[in-house]
Structure 1
Amino acid sequence: MQRTGHITPDSLMSLEAYSKWRKAHKPEVIAHRKLRSVQLGEHINLQFESETTIRYQIQEMLRIEKIFEEEGILQEIEAYAPLVPDGSNWKATVMIEYTDANERKRELARLIGVEDRLFVEVDGQARVYAIADEDLDRENDEKTSAVHFVRFEFTPAMCAVIQAGGAVKLGCDHTHYPAHTQIPMETLASLAGDLK
């Protein structure tokens, strides 16, 4: 998959080329996604996005919807490209996961605002809270959404600590979901690559 730092229609594969590429490379993309996935507590999973994950998502949407005209391709790029980190941040898809439908409904009502209480704490630095759902609001007075899109914006000093291999904690200080975890070193190494 061509990595260019910028996703354009010309940098994407045709449906035929992608179909061939997908057969050979899907396991690599799944492994990359898994490496960049961090479980926070029992029910929240953060999938840290990269150009690779977003490029794959766009190609998958084009394949599933059989989109090959430029207007449709541009719409998919417009929808997903903002999720590619741009050098001073990490961007993630947040999934709140409850298998039981009744429990999910109850917990999504209790977890209103949880997306704003997610944080990253870089060793020796202040917490950085998530900037959530910049494209549209995903909660209402009754419940939050099971999926959110967040951005963690870092200072140059924080980027330097991350790139030097400093410890980084991911957490949540929502009243109904207090949780924190150390980001594993192999995941952190991948995420450090998103920073300039």
Structure 2
Amino acid sequence: MPLHVPPAPAPALRSVLAALGSPTAVREARTPALRSAPGPLTPELPLPLHVLDGITSGGRTARSRLAGWRFLISDRDHPVAAADTRLTPDGWTFSHFFEGPYIASTQRALRQAELLATPFQPRLLSVPELYMLTLWLHGDTGADGASGAPAPHDLLVPLAPAPPGICSHRPRRVSELLPVLTLRLAPAPLLGQPA
């Protein structure tokens, strides 16, 4: 089933294109793969990047907020880096280029998602408290990609590297994975005290 990728804000895309066209921005980026790519470099698959805040064991519902848009930067063959944009008081602006394992892991998770029978809107969901990034497959394909919270029936695909005890690239419903994350963040009982 094809994924329904939400359109990125035009100013976010323009800021990434401007950064790619700037020899200084590319040269100063800490991304050897980006600097050595033969080109041409193209921003692809813009995904809204949301951050999940407030995961607690107290039963309070976690909140998500839009942190920016992430573009995979591809040369002729495959993604070599990514570019993040962020919203400022003056509008969308380029933030930084980066590379690392999440590039290939994102691409792999997107390929997995395309094989699912249900249509989804892909997003990224970061869980900073666990140093975790997931591909968030939102069930409402017509929703505004910049808003909303993970619904219980949405799928989360933890990207590699995932935190210990969480299997990367195994899609799980939000209703199944969120309690696991809550347990991971619960403070451990002190020795000698009942749990």
* TM value normalised by structure 2: 0.29
* TM value normalised by structure 1: 0.29
User: Between Structure 1 and Structure 2, which shows a larger proportion of strand residues?
Assistant: 2
